[in-house]
Structure 1
Amino acid sequence: MFRRTFWFSTGVAAGVWATTKVNRKLNQLTPESLAAQAADRAVLAGRRVKLFALDVREGMADREAALRDALGLTAAPGTRDDRELTARPGAHPLEPPYTVNNRTTGKEDH
């Protein structure tokens, strides 16, 4: 009698376990669940790419600082005179309203 009860209980437990396992797997394979998993993985991939980009930028800045120190350069990039734009008063609306180093950019008179 105890033997039958033991095997019956074991069979019920195995059935409950198998049913639970199958239901969990079916829930994982629903379209909504698959979409959520894909979105989570895309967000994770985006974070990894962002961290990689930040690491690359940091390495570039470190390397640039090392090169500037090695070459003895002290001026910050972008401070050269040829990059300064000044407004040109009374410019024609179709011409660029700025000059670069006192030269008008755009069409030149020949």
Structure 2
Amino acid sequence: MFRRTFWFTSGVAAGVWATTKVNRKLKQLTPENLAVTAANKALDAGHRIKDRAVGFALDVRDNMAQREAELGDALGINETPELPSPRRYAAIENRTNPKSVESDRTTYSYNRNEDH
């Protein structure tokens, strides 16, 4: 009697375990979940590729700068020439002259609808 009860409960437990395992796998294989999984894997792969490409680009940039410095030292062109001082322009025109104020009124039109 105990043997039958043991094997019966073992069978029931195995059946419940197998059923839940199959149901979980079926839920993972729905089209929506497959699309989400594929999108997540694609994003992860893109991030990994971007990180590697950025690291490679930084290495290339560092080596390029180092090589340019070596070539500049070898050719003697690393010395920066002295630049002339920048020109200064008046930020605001002189508006005290009445002729310039009057000429501005006659030449500039601020009517937005005039061109249409």
TM-score category, normalised to shorter length? 0.5 to 0.7
- Residue correspondence of structure 1 range 1-110 to structure 2 within 5 A: 1-71=1-71, 72=73, 74=78
C-alpha separation between the residues in 2 aligned to 1:27 and 1:57? 42
Mark the runs of 5 or more structure 2 residues left unpaired by the alignment. 80-116
C-alpha separation between the residues in 2 aligned to 1:13 and 1:66? 69
What's the CA shift string for 1:12-61, capped at 9, x where partnerless?
A: 01001110111011011100000000110111011012101111111111
Greater per-residue helix proportion: 2
Judged with a 3 Å threshold, the aligned counterparts in structure 2 of structure 1 residues 6 and 29 are, in CA distance, closer, same or farther, namely same
Give, in angstroms, the shift of residue 65 of structure 1: 2.0
Question: TM-score, with normalisation over the residues of structure 2?
Answer: 0.60
Give aligned-pair identity as a percent. Answer: 56
Give, in angstroms, the shift of residue 69 of structure 1: 2.6
C-alpha separation between the residues in 2 aligned to 1:42 and 1:9? 45
Structure 1 contact 28–34 (Cα < 8 Å) conserved: yes
Root mean square deviation of aligned Cα = 1.5
| Bigger RCO (CA 8 Å, 6+ sep) | 1
Residue-pair matches, total:
75
Question: TM-score, with normalisation over the residues of structure 1?
Answer: 0.63
Match of 1:92 in 2: none
Q: Which structure is larger by alpha-carbon Rg, 1 or 2?
A: 2
Greater per-residue strand proportion: 1
